[in-house]
Amino acid sequence: MTSPVLVEGLHKTYSGVPAVAGLDLEIHAGEVFALLGPNGAGKTTTVEVLEGFRRRDGGRVEVLGEDPQSAGLDWRQRLGIVLQSSRGLDLLTVREALASTAKVYRQPRDVDEVLEWVGLGEKRDARTASLSGGQRRRLDVGMGIIGRPELLFLDEPTTGFDPRARRDFWALIAGLAGDGTTIVLTTHYLDEAEQLADRVGVIAGGRMLTVDTPAQLGGRHAQEATVSWREDGGVRTLSTAEPTAEVARLAARFGGEVPELVVARPTLEDTYLRLIEPHAVSVERPVVEEVAR
């Protein structure tokens, strides 16, 4: 089966300055793939080439079996795109905005069903101009999925969402992926990438540094863990490649519960920053937001 996204040696320059320099990427059918990278890494250019909005200077690109530079309207019917912002809808109601988008597609989803999915059922008759930032983002997502896309691009989809809304959105994305939709996600929320993505790709300097599962990215799973506990009035810590064995030794020594025991491996944020630091003059710190469980 052909991969929905296949990129080999992608090149793009602006005024002689390379933005993407020989990038390779393959995204498998039905997976959620997160693209991470600092500003200026080439992430946005890469996605715009995949979406057919920007022409490349070199390399091979296939998206749903076609070259985005020459693909026609039938190809576009198979894509869903959620941009960072949408304009020109302020005079329409929420339902009107979604219904007008649905008319573009041959087999759209039911408008009212999508409104419920994205949490805007109670706002269906409100003018889009009256929506909050988070509600406007939900409408953007609804417009992206109304056409039953085989491949969905999500660009910073939960910007402006509160923690509860972000959790609801994560469930929506999991449902779409479960139905077989391939999803390409760009985000600065590393907890979002860790929660949603089957695999993560890190871009810096116009190249793909590494691709792996969130748990194994950059050898994260094999790095030493830090074990800490309270003893003799203070906090003790040690690094170990065998945290389970160390906890067992501590439990035996304490005769059961170990006071204030914490076992931690390097976070996805730690690994991400370590990967991109050699490739950036100033490293942009990603957002790690604590979401209530």
**Residue 283 clears pLDDT 60, i.e. is over it:** no
Tens digit of each residue's pLDDT (9 = 90 or more) over 159-194 = 767 788 788 888 888 888 888 899 999 988 888 998
Indicate if 124 and 255 belong to the same structural domain.
no
Question: Checking DSSP bridges between strand 5-14 and strand 17-27, what pairing results, if any?
Answer: antiparallel
For residues 233 and 228, give the distance between their C-alpha atoms in angstroms, rounded to a whole number.
Answer: 13
Helices then strands (H, E): number in the chain? 9, 12
Which of the pair, 270 or 124, is modelled with greater confidence?
124
Query: Which residues partner with 236 through β-bridges?
Result: 229
In a domain, 278, yes or no: no
Per-position b or e across 177-203, b if 16+ CB within 10 A of its CB: beeebbbbbbbbbbbbbbbbbebbbbb
SS3 169: helix
**Residue 147 clears pLDDT 80, i.e. is over it:** yes
Hey, what's the torsion of the CAs at 113, 114, 116, 118, to 10 degrees? Answer: 170
Decide which of 187, 217, 247 is a domain's last residue. 217
- Residue 70 sits in which domain range? 5-217
User: pLDDT confidence of 117, banded at 50, 70, 90?
Assistant: confident
Which of the pair, 172 or 32, is modelled with greater confidence?
32
Indicate if 99 and 140 belong to the same structural domain.
yes
Indicate if 146 and 235 belong to the same structural domain.
no
In a domain, 129, yes or no: yes
Indicate if 122 and 240 belong to the same structural domain.
no
Mean pLDDT of 250-279: 86
For residues 199 and 194, give the distance between their C-alpha atoms in angstroms, rounded to a whole number.
Answer: 9
Structural domains in the chain (count): 2
Indicate if 11 and 115 belong to the same structural domain.
yes
Top-ranked range on mean pLDDT: pick from 96-105, 214-223, 282-291: 96-105
Residue 16: is it exposed, middle or buried by C-beta count within 10 angstroms (0-12/13-18/19+)?
A: exposed
Indicate if 188 and 239 belong to the same structural domain.
no
CATH (domain of 110): 3.40.50.300
pLDDT at 24: 95
Tens digit of each residue's pLDDT (9 = 90 or more) over 72-97 = 999 999 999 987 666 778 889 999 99
